[in-house]
Structure 1
Amino acid sequence: MVSRRTFLAGTGALTAGGFGLIPAQSAAAAGAGGTGDAANAARRLLPAFGRPEHLHYGDVSKLSGGDQTLLTTLQGVVNRSSPELYFLFSPGGPDGVDARWLRDTGLPTTRYADPLELVAKYRHRVRGAIVHDPDVIDSLNVATTLAGLENAVVADAAQAKAHGLRIVQDLRGKFDGDRVKTYRWQLENLFPRCTHQLLTGLPPTMVVQAENLTWHEIARETRQIRDSSNRGSYTLDVSPALGKEAVYVRFGDSFGDDGWGASVASVSAKANGVEIANFLPGTDAETPFLFDGLNSSIGGEGNRFSDGGGYFIYKFTPPAGTTSLTVTVEMWNQYLVTATDTAPTRVEAFPYFRDYVVATKALVSWLPPNGPTGDLLKEHFDKVAPTAPYAGWFSNDVAGEWSGVDLAAQGGVEVLPADFYMNGTVHSGVSAPISDKVRKLTPAKPGNKVFLTLTFGEGDNVQYCQRHMRDLWDDPHRGEAPVNWTVSPLLAEVGPALFSHYQRTATKNDLLICGPSGAGYTYPGAWPADEVDEYMKLSGRFMRSTGMDLVYAYNHRENDKWVPFSEEIGRSYAEHTPLRGIIQSWEAGDLLVRRGGIPVIGNFSPPGKAAEYKAALDAHIADWDGKSPLFIAGGINAWSWTPTDVAELAKLLKAPYELLLGNAFFDLLNRTL
């Protein structure tokens, strides 16, 4: 019987040359990174692009999502052969992160004050426009897939007319809004023409914040409460926000740096004493009132919650003439409730990463990983060879992440979080040296101390590596204290200059380690037993070519709990990768075992900033007798901490603590065990 791996590897896995890009054998010259040997270049995981020589760019940060989509799909067609177009998406002008990376390329550039002028400049390079249906949001993804296949841009009818674009295909009226039917049509009719080297997943629309809003603060928890001890029924007077057609009530986090924001179990509303709403989160009754729930999740008690910078918004429309509007909620933890009379957000086309999708002729979908859409997503994974990446993301926040990554792993597919990765076609082509040398370490002296290593998470996420990590990296206090930085080794192909920048500018106190859980985000324990070695071989190749020998990793979930690595997974890591140690996330910090001869230590990640973190460490070691060394792998929240915070924590770590880089930490741990 022919296995899926044998069949697909022989018939479906195309080289980059199959896209009209430069041949895979030339990848080293195109900045693929790694050791540069011909064998590695020929085995590229991701498509290769030619080196850009001159970049035409413009600031698109103020354009609508529709205009940005028009430009990014144009960028995909133009940049397929050799990148020429680059866009500034981030605010900050010349100080924004996109501008900094552009300067770092050292390439000659031409700036366009009105970037939409580039449509006319490059109109001769495209066949025309694929017009999506504004009444069927998923048609925008189908249009993107078609744009790659037809060398076209994505536009609505008005844009096509305004820019003089011939309509290549008009999707208006073709689909009826049934998401499964739409993406099944695409899988059956378009996938045979697409690359089989990768799959992509992007939301067709995004929520955009309105400007110049006035939010009235209604209620705030001023205590750092994380144990639900303030759970109760709260009647909130939102009358100050009356004045227009509707009132929008937002629930956020009053302490945004520790992840215990507002949690709501029931909601009712009264206008002039008459009930106009009564519902439970996560039910059909909630749907008419949930204006924006994208940054929230449903908890185990049926509660809706959002932490950190997240929030959720309910919309209430009282009768005309209402003078009193109250909302009663069962609520707990660190809530911050505000209200306004103006729609705080609007929905626009999601433009990001579409240049990469179009340039590589990839199939793009948006299928929630549960239910009928999850079944169809699994069919997508079954159509590609093992270790073919799924680039983009999943819907439904954290729950969608866990379900989606798990479903991909079951299908032998690793995830490349890239939905907000911008100018990917340019960054894939910019050449830069990447060292394959493992960082030399200074061995720590053994002793009866508490040895601690600190690690910034999120490095599997290439858009984090491109954007937020760059901001953290540019913190002037970076380097004052030892810290590990998770980073994706796949940047060696999809952003070699980004990876090179971090390697070249790292201080003696910065160590790059592999993000979860190797070459792409995945849960190794969820992989088919006969395919997990393929993922480990891929991880080993990328880790060796980028000089990394530590990994921050997940395994998989069973009954909503994270499961420690098995001996079999440990042996696979040991046989196929250069690992000296594994930090296992989603663990309380008590785990310390060997798997396949590799030490695996749990991740201890308390909430709060420096002082609270130090207090949690002290409580964690309270039962330590001081007669033997104690090892702690401390997690750092990349979204709320900075190198300045790490330096502040380091100043608090007096005896018995000793703070080490991860390489010295695991070297000592190995010698001690």
Structure 2
Amino acid sequence: MVSRRTFLAGSGAVTAGGFGMVPALASNAQAAVSSTSGSPARLLPVFSRPKHLDYGDVSKLSGGDQTLLTTLQGVVNRTEPELYFLYDTGTMSTPDAKWLADMHLPTKLYKNPLDLVAKYRSRVRGAIVHDPAVPDSLNVATTLAGLENAVVADADQAKAHGLRIVKDLRGMFDDNRLTTYRWQLDNLFPRVTKKLLAGLPPTRVVAVENVQWQEIARETEQIRDSSNKGNYDLDVSAKLGQEAVFVRFQDSFTDDGWGPSVSEVTVKANGTQIAHFLPGTPEEEPYLFDGVNSSIGGDANRFSDGGGYFIYRFEPPAGTTSLVVTVTMWNQYLVTATDTAPTRIEAFPYFRDYVVATKAMVSWLPPSGETGELLIEHFAKWPTLAPYMGWFANDVAGEWDGVDLASQGGSPVVAADFYMNGTVHSGFTAPISDKVRPVRRITTPKNKVYVTLTFGEGDNIQYCQRRLRDIWDDPKRGQVPTNWTISPLLAETGPGLYSYFQRTATANDLLVCGPSGGGYAYPGSWKPEELTQYLQMTGGFMRRTGLDQVYSYSSRQDNKWILLSKEIAEGFAKYTPVKGIMQTWDGDPLVVRQGGLPITNAWGAPGKAAEFKAALDQRIANWDGASPLFVSGLIGAWSWTPSDMAELGPLLTDPYELVLANSFYDLLNRVL
């Protein structure tokens, strides 16, 4: 197993393409990421503990200015964390502000955070200038910024802040993502850290304020079975007059996950067809203005659930007086239109402090086709267990394919693309107990339906930092037995975060390991010898953080999740303290013993409390009541809160008994 006792950044002694390191800065960088003598072997970087933080509210700044500051933060915080930023609204009720207050450190507020560029300008060599015409050049610039102790900027920013241009990437790349990242891998690999690799989108979509949307069509019933599938004529003529018309598709019921699905689009201007396409095809691309919050489904349909949406842009010929968009559509749709461009494209700034500080290579390679092949090459060049930190392109399909490729390549995934101030949180130490929560043992099982309910998403450290903190602070938390998935890797990426959740948990809150252990993985896709290393690493993190339950994926066959194999379950039993596994599963209700461990499926239901209870009643309809029945449920972490759990709890009367996961699997271990 590769030792993680010492984290070393890429050597400053090697140069590529004429880029050099300042010797003094190189020695400081190595000192900043060396581990403390006697500390346990580490997977992820070590940072010094912050003593004082200069901070500012950057929520109103452009993505470009935020990128300038986050890359400055990476260089400065590599030696000692001194910079911290508020990315939300700037009020003291947001997660960034709460975590800052929790650290109880001396701070200084900068009302104009860009003033910090002048204060710390002497700490950087200058700027790596990216090419606005080539979005992916921003990622190459970020990799170079880490290696060159520089910030990422455009030419105007560099001039405005008096930054020397260390390297100008303008004109160096064309808009071919493959050749851009091929150049980066071929030229910069010798210099970057081999402890992790990163994936970040180079740009983000930002909503434009004060856009007026007109409602065109809405499904008023909660339809989830495609029974309203049909061809709908959407007359958007009222929004003619400007250069283009923008048509947005949203979920009319945002809390249950059955938003609009569209499988075909035809557009007619004054009765003449000007566009026709199927989602997910090249013909759609010229019209898809914003699809980042949507996915392509199994029926070759574009869909978006919850708070997501997708927007098409249609530019009719001059003189058009009638514009009708005909769509094949179903489920819970809300269609609106506007004549104003509703979003703009900006640089994606988040997590770049961590990438720069650790001298990591960052790319953005969709995990299919030629870019997927290049991503596979990345995984092959990094050592086993080097985490892939960030995320993948193409939303859900990108997640499944990307995590599968990472698992095949021996890299656990850490969803971190929206993890802010990572260089500060990784350095801030806080006590974490390794004691496992005692089991409330059910000594004599009754003929009841034992139910345990778990909030998902905990492998995602940005979820732990942001959404989990928001819902955790709900005053009704603790009224109902609830399991909360969490990443044990927070012991190294955010000890203060993990400590907060651990020490504020009530008797009705149980922390359990998020999928599928020490980082998001599909165990069935790993090479057996590398899976052993992953499970050994997972066991170490679980013991350090007092966890003995896990929610796991397996692997996919024929587009379905399959049961964890006997060999994998035996690996969990041998190398980790796991007492039971809840796994994602596409088959019938699952309660089995596999490899010495009880395994149950993660069952879920749409809607909130009343609908969840109705679905649960239906699920147990064939139960004869002659023996205990076990149901492990997965709760939607982005739509549910403890208040919703408090509403559900009183509904689960006899024959139900709601228990924590440790009691649930303890009982299963004795009766199965």
Query: Quick check: TM above 0.5?
Result: yes
Aligned twin of 2:20 = none
| Cα distance in 2 for residues equivalent to 1:21 and 1:145 | 20
Quote how far apart the aligned CAs of 1:22 are: 3.5
The correspondence for 1:98, drawn from 90, 96, 102, is 96
Q: How does 1:229-244 map to 2 (within 5 A)?
A: 229-244=227-242
The correspondence for 1:362, drawn from 350, 360, 363, is 360
| Cα distance in 2 for residues equivalent to 1:260 and 1:599 | 32
2:145/2:152 contact within 8 Å kept: yes
The correspondence for 1:440, drawn from 417, 428, 438, is 438
| Cα distance in 1 for residues equivalent to 2:5 and 2:375 | 18
1:17/1:24 contact within 8 Å kept: no
Q: How does 1:73-92 map to 2 (within 5 A)?
A: 73-92=71-90
1:269/1:327 contact within 8 Å kept: yes
| Cα distance in 2 for residues equivalent to 1:472 and 1:14 | 34
| Cα distance in 2 for residues equivalent to 1:286 and 1:15 | 46
Aligned twin of 2:462 = 463
The correspondence for 1:402, drawn from 391, 400, 403, is 400
Aligned twin of 2:503 = 504
**Is 1:227 equivalent to 2:225 in the alignment?**
yes
2:486/2:514 contact within 8 Å kept: yes
**Is 1:489 equivalent to 2:488 in the alignment?**
yes
Aligned twin of 1:529 = 528
Q: How does 1:44-59 map to 2 (within 5 A)?
A: 44-59=42-57
Change (3 A) 1:15 1:128: closer
Residue segments in structure 2 that go unaligned for 5+ positions in a row: 12-28
Quote how far apart the aligned CAs of 1:147 are: 0.2
| Cα distance in 1 for residues equivalent to 2:48 and 2:280 | 48
Amino acid aligned to 2:639: S
2:4/2:42 contact within 8 Å kept: no
Quote how far apart the aligned CAs of 1:11 are: 13
Q: Secondary structure at the match of 2:426?
A: helix
Render the CA deviation track for 1:27-61: whole Å, top value 9, x for unaligned.
Answer: 8xxxxxxxxxx3xx341100000010000000000
1:97/1:470 contact within 8 Å kept: yes
Q: Secondary structure at the match of 2:484?
A: strand
Aligned twin of 1:25 = 35
| Cα distance in 2 for residues equivalent to 1:17 and 1:435 | 33
Change (3 A) 1:139 1:13: farther
Q: Secondary structure at the match of 1:532?
A: helix
Q: How does 1:123-142 map to 2 (within 5 A)?
A: 123-142=121-140
1:21/1:48 contact within 8 Å kept: no
Render the CA deviation track for 1:8-40: whole Å, top value 9, x for unaligned.
Answer: x5999954697524454318xxxxxxxxxx3xx
Amino acid aligned to 1:431: T
1:238/1:326 contact within 8 Å kept: yes
Render the CA deviation track for 1:520-543: whole Å, top value 9, x for unaligned.
Answer: 000000001221100000000000
Q: Which deviates further from its counterpart, 578-587 or 16-25?
A: 16-25
| Cα distance in 2 for residues equivalent to 1:280 and 1:538 | 45
Q: Secondary structure at the match of 2:56?
A: strand
Quote how far apart the aligned CAs of 1:282 are: 1.3
Q: Which deviates further from its counterpart, 291-300 or 368-377?
A: 291-300
1:24/1:43 contact within 8 Å kept: no
Aligned twin of 1:545 = 544
Change (3 A) 1:244 1:17: closer
TM-score normalised according to structure 2 size? 0.95
Aligned twin of 2:273 = 275
Aligned twin of 1:658 = 657
Render the CA deviation track for 1:283-321: whole Å, top value 9, x for unaligned.
Answer: 121111110111111122211111111111000111233
Aligned twin of 2:144 = 146
**Is 1:189 equivalent to 2:199 in the alignment?**
no
Aligned twin of 1:31 = none
2:216/2:336 contact within 8 Å kept: yes
Q: Which deviates further from its counterpart, 534-543 or 322-331?
A: 322-331
| Cα distance in 2 for residues equivalent to 1:10 and 1:617 | 46
Q: Number of residue pairs matched?
A: 654
| Cα distance in 1 for residues equivalent to 2:298 and 2:580 | 34
| Cα distance in 2 for residues equivalent to 1:106 and 1:488 | 24
Quote how far apart the aligned CAs of 1:625 are: 0.4
- RMSD over equivalenced CA pairs, Å: 1.5
2:562/2:586 contact within 8 Å kept: no
Aligned twin of 2:614 = 615
Amino acid aligned to 2:455: F
| Cα distance in 2 for residues equivalent to 1:92 and 1:267 | 41
**Is 1:424 equivalent to 2:434 in the alignment?**
no
Change (3 A) 1:23 1:218: closer
Q: Secondary structure at the match of 1:118?
A: helix
| Cα distance in 1 for residues equivalent to 2:512 and 2:143 | 34
Render the CA deviation track for 1:102-154: whole Å, top value 9, x for unaligned.
Answer: 00000010000000000000000000000001111111000000000000000
Amino acid aligned to 1:388: A
2:8/2:30 contact within 8 Å kept: no
Aligned twin of 2:382 = 384
Amino acid aligned to 1:446: P
Aligned twin of 1:475 = 474
Amino acid aligned to 1:488: S
Aligned twin of 1:161 = 159
| Cα distance in 2 for residues equivalent to 1:85 and 1:518 | 31
Render the CA deviation track for 1:410-461: whole Å, top value 9, x for unaligned.
Answer: 0011000000000000000111000000001211241000000000000000
Render the CA deviation track for 1:322-374: whole Å, top value 9, x for unaligned.
Answer: 22211100101111111111111100000000000000000001001111111
Aligned twin of 1:35 = none
Aligned twin of 2:15 = none
Aligned twin of 2:216 = 218
**Is 1:170 equivalent to 2:180 in the alignment?**
no
Quote how far apart the aligned CAs of 1:651 are: 1.0
| Cα distance in 1 for residues equivalent to 2:570 and 2:265 | 51
Aligned twin of 1:248 = 246
Change (3 A) 1:16 1:138: closer
Amino acid aligned to 1:208: V
| Cα distance in 1 for residues equivalent to 2:31 and 2:502 | 28
Render the CA deviation track for 1:587-640: whole Å, top value 9, x for unaligned.
Answer: 456111112101100111011100000000000000000000000001100011
Amino acid aligned to 1:583: M
Change (3 A) 1:10 1:101: closer
Q: How does 1:108-123 map to 2 (within 5 A)?
A: 108-123=106-121
Quote how far apart the aligned CAs of 1:384 are: 1.3
Aligned twin of 2:647 = 648
2:280/2:296 contact within 8 Å kept: yes
1:588/1:603 contact within 8 Å kept: no
1:369/1:403 contact within 8 Å kept: yes
Q: Secondary structure at the match of 1:658?
A: strand
| Cα distance in 2 for residues equivalent to 1:384 and 1:25 | 21
Aligned twin of 1:34 = none
**Is 1:568 equivalent to 2:567 in the alignment?**
yes
1:441/1:663 contact within 8 Å kept: yes
Aligned twin of 1:30 = none
| Cα distance in 1 for residues equivalent to 2:538 and 2:451 | 26
| Cα distance in 1 for residues equivalent to 2:3 and 2:262 | 52
Residue segments in structure 1 that go unaligned for 5+ positions in a row: 28-37
TM-score normalised according to structure 1 size? 0.95
Report percent identity of matched pairs: 68
Change (3 A) 1:22 1:161: closer
